[in-house]
Amino acid sequence: MTDDDRSQMNESACRDLIDVARLHGPGDIRVHREPAGRPSADEVLLKVHAVGLCGSDLHWYDEASIGDARVTRPLVLGHEFAGEIASGPRAGQRVVGDPSEPCGMCPPCREGRSNLCLRMRFAGHGETDGALRTLMPWRAALLEPLPGSVADDEAPLLEPMAVALHAVALGSPTLGSSAGVFGCGPLGLLLVQLLRTAGVTTIVATDLLPHRVAAAGAMGATHPLLVSGESALELPDAVAPLDVAFEVGGTDGALEDALAAVRPGGRVVLVGIPAGDRTSFPAALARRKGLSLVLCRRSRPEDLTAAIRLAATGRLDLSSLVSHRYPITDAAEAFATAAARRGLKVIIRP
């Protein structure tokens, strides 16, 4: 195929009307027919095969905001995505998307901490539309080749796996140590599996929902525990205290349980995003133990590469995490299912 042929195909694709799901306000997802976006010089068109709905997507859905970012125009969500390149020399290649585009120039970027970029462009956040559309332009350099052993519906889990890998690095569990995962949504369940593969021998996993606790046990937690959210967690004497804890629920109750469970001098990694952008905890509990509290901000570029390699080994169970699949025309129902915490990972297939 010549460059002229590719150019004509790109022009045709850009004129095509595609399905696009946009968030207009709290709980208001609408599917539109729109022209496909036009890729810039360093972008390609991606035919989107699968998009995972994340806890941060649900903050947008519930509040039309996340942290200090607000919906200022109808926004296309979706930052866990995979598909097939539809334009350019890599056309036909299956890929998973890195949703983060750091500036490369700010102090954190120059220090090698691009996940803390001060001018980050991120799919489905702020002014940058995400992947809940049939075709999307995205930088070719941010599309990683996908192994044939990873199915389309599993591929969106690679982005949260990258976040989980970054969280594990922040927690620094050692071989034979003990750890807790407080909140067992899909990200928490990926953490359980990663801790198991890292050689952590005691893994406590808690959640308010019985089906999530059962999933944690099936995926390697040695002590899956159902909590009420109304009373403090009491760990069995045989496992308390823990060396490191990961708070993934985004609630004050989960954080307080994590603080109570970890040993003096231990570490607590905050991964969950709280509603209303506020977190509180008993200061004396953390102070008297001299705990280190570390906050996890997204993931680093190398974490996605590591997630792809790990998924290709088949050592993690990704398929069991996918509980619901919807076409993009049913995006509103998909978000309602995810917001009700039914099942585990909800996938939309544009």
pTM: 0.93
Q: Lowest mean pLDDT of 45-49, 93-97, 237-241, 346-350, name the range.
A: 237-241
Under 8 Å between Cβ of 49 and 84: yes
Q: What is the predicted pLDDT for the residue at 6?
A: 52
Number of domains the chain is built from: 2
pLDDT at 2 over 70: no
166 and 271 co-located in one domain: yes
Residue 16 sits in a domain whose CATH number is 3.90.180.10
243 and 329 co-located in one domain: no
Q: Mean of the pLDDT values across residues 64-77?
A: 91
Between CA 204 and CA 44 the distance in angstroms is 43
Under 8 Å between Cβ of 275 and 67: no
Q: What is the predicted pLDDT for the residue at 301?
A: 87
| 168 falls within a domain | yes
Residue 176 sits in a domain whose CATH number is 3.40.50.720
343 and 267 co-located in one domain: no
pLDDT at 32 over 90: yes
| 301 falls within a domain | no
pLDDT digits (tens, 9 = 90+) for 253-304: 999 999 999 999 999 999 999 988 889 999 999 999 999 999 999 998 899 9
204 and 272 co-located in one domain: yes
140 and 179 co-located in one domain: no
8 and 147 co-located in one domain: yes
141 and 34 co-located in one domain: yes
| 91 falls within a domain | yes
| 309 falls within a domain | no
43 and 108 co-located in one domain: yes
Q: What is the predicted pLDDT for the residue at 68?
A: 84
pLDDT digits (tens, 9 = 90+) for 314-330: 999 999 999 999 999 99
Q: Mean of the pLDDT values across residues 245-249?
A: 97
CB atoms within 10 A of CB 150: 21
| 216 falls within a domain | yes
Evaluate the omega torsion of the peptide bond into residue 210 and state whether it is cis, within 30 degrees of 0: no
Burial class (CB in 10 A: 0-12, 13-18, 19+), 349: middle
Burial class (CB in 10 A: 0-12, 13-18, 19+), 316: buried
169 and 128 co-located in one domain: no
pLDDT digits (tens, 9 = 90+) for 178-230: 999 999 999 999 999 999 999 999 999 999 999 999 999 999 999 999 998 77
| 136 falls within a domain | yes
CA proximity to 11, closest of 47, 50, 45, 42? 45
At which of 295, 310, 330 does a domain end? 295
DSSP 231: S
Residue span of the structural domain in which 205 resides: 160-295
Question: pLDDT-based confidence at 10, cuts 50/70/90?
Answer: low
111 and 191 co-located in one domain: no
| 143 falls within a domain | yes
Q: What is the predicted pLDDT for the residue at 8?
A: 52
pLDDT at 106 over 70: yes
Q: What is the predicted pLDDT for the residue at 7?
A: 52
pLDDT at 15 over 80: no
pLDDT at 159 over 80: yes
222 and 84 co-located in one domain: no
| 210 falls within a domain | yes
Average pLDDT of the residues of the chain:
93
Under 8 Å between Cβ of 30 and 21: yes
47 and 104 co-located in one domain: yes
